Copies of this chain bind each other. A is one copy, B any other.
Amino acid sequence: MATSRSNGIPVPAVRRLSLYLRQLESLAANSRKTVSSRQLGEALGLTDAQVRKDLAYFGQFGHPGVGYRVNELVTRVRSILGTDKTWNVLLVGAGNLGRALFCYRGFTKKGFQIVAIFDRNPAVIGTHPDPSRRIPVQPMGELDETVRRRNIRLAILAVPADHAQSVAREVLDAGVRGILNFAPVALRLDESVPVAAVDLSVHLEQLSFQLAGAPPQPKRNAVHAAARRRR
């Protein structure tokens, strides 16, 4: 079982912690006060035993006869994940994907603030990918100074595959400590550097697996199901 580098907790348990947090935040938004491990698991397709086991890695959260207190657990999980504070993040790559990520509101909502964007291409330096924010694309030469001044610890790479490795080293040399890599290539870095890779096609593969394995259904069913849902 792969374990997280810093503390020996299985990586899948840490991943599920993010899922629990999403679910808990949605319960909190609906003013739910408490939730059981069974209810939390059901919404995510997990057993109550799995939920209890996962959370036990991080502490003692349940209350006998009550279950989990939603707001309390949200606060504690955010603190465990380190998202109870705001992280300053930089982004390298001002192409289509980089600009989309720069404008993606989901990051800010979770405490990740993209405060700088860099590119190697002189043609885009100084342009504003998000007109509503006064953040121009900077040249790579300003990396060091910006990382230091804005206290940046995380970098998102949205660069072509053949640039990713050299850009990863540049951001690490500048003081960044974790990398989220959107380039479709595996980075070769020191094992101590936390790296997460995003391959968007993996998600489509999971869907095609389900469709390829499922018996064919006439289109009529989908229409009827939708009609039922609208009632």
Chain A residues in the interface with B (C-beta under 8 A): 1-7, 11-12, 14-15, 17-19, 21-22, 26, 44-47, 50, 80-83, 87, 89, 96-97, 99-101, 103-107, 109-112, 153-154, 156, 169, 172-173, 175-180, 184, 186, 188-190, 192-196, 198-214, 217, 219, 222-223, 225-226, 228-230
Closest B residue by C-beta to A219: B175
CB within 8 Å for A208 and B82 given contacts A169-B226, A201-B112, A203-B196: yes
Q: A178 — which chain B residues lie within 8 A by C-beta?
A: 207-208, 210-211
Tell which of B7, B110, B199 touches A204, judged by Cβ atoms closer than 8 Å: B110
Q: Are A101 and B225 in contact (CB under 8 A)?
A: no
User: Distance in Å from the Cβ of A43 to the closest Cβ of chain B?
Assistant: 9
Q: A184 — which chain B residues lie within 8 A by C-beta?
A: 105-106, 109
The answer for the CA separation of A62 and B105 in the assembled complex, in Å, is 46
Q: Are B209 and A177 in contact (CB under 8 A)?
A: no
Q: A219 — which chain B residues lie within 8 A by C-beta?
A: 175
Contacts A81-B205, A107-B200 supplied; 6 other A-B pairs, CB < 8 Å: A89-B204, A96-B100, A97-B100, A104-B200, A107-B201, A194-B210
**Residue with the highest number of chain B CB atoms closer than 10 Å, among A3, A112, A153, A156:** A112
The answer for the CA separation of A73 and B105 in the assembled complex, in Å, is 40
User: Distance in Å from the Cβ of A57 to the closest Cβ of chain B?
Assistant: 12
Q: A210 — which chain B residues lie within 8 A by C-beta?
A: 4-6, 178, 194
Q: Are A207 and B18 in contact (CB under 8 A)?
A: no
User: Distance in Å from the Cβ of A85 to the closest Cβ of chain B?
Assistant: 9
The answer for the CA separation of A22 and B5 in the assembled complex, in Å, is 22
Q: A100 — which chain B residues lie within 8 A by C-beta?
A: 96-97, 99-101
Tell which of B177, B188, B207 touches A154, judged by Cβ atoms closer than 8 Å: B207
User: Distance in Å from the Cβ of A28 to the closest Cβ of chain B?
Assistant: 14
Q: Are B2 and A209 in contact (CB under 8 A)?
A: no
Closest B residue by C-beta to A227: B173
The answer for the CA separation of A176 and B208 in the assembled complex, in Å, is 12
Q: A99 — which chain B residues lie within 8 A by C-beta?
A: 96, 100
Name 27 interchain pairs, CB-CB below 8 A, sorted by A.
Answer: A1-B47, A12-B12, A14-B206, A18-B202, A22-B202, A81-B205, A81-B209, A82-B209, A82-B211, A87-B208, A97-B103, A106-B184, A106-B199, A106-B200, A107-B204, A112-B201, A154-B204, A154-B208, A169-B230, A173-B226, A175-B222, A177-B217, A178-B208, A180-B207, A188-B229, A192-B225, A195-B207
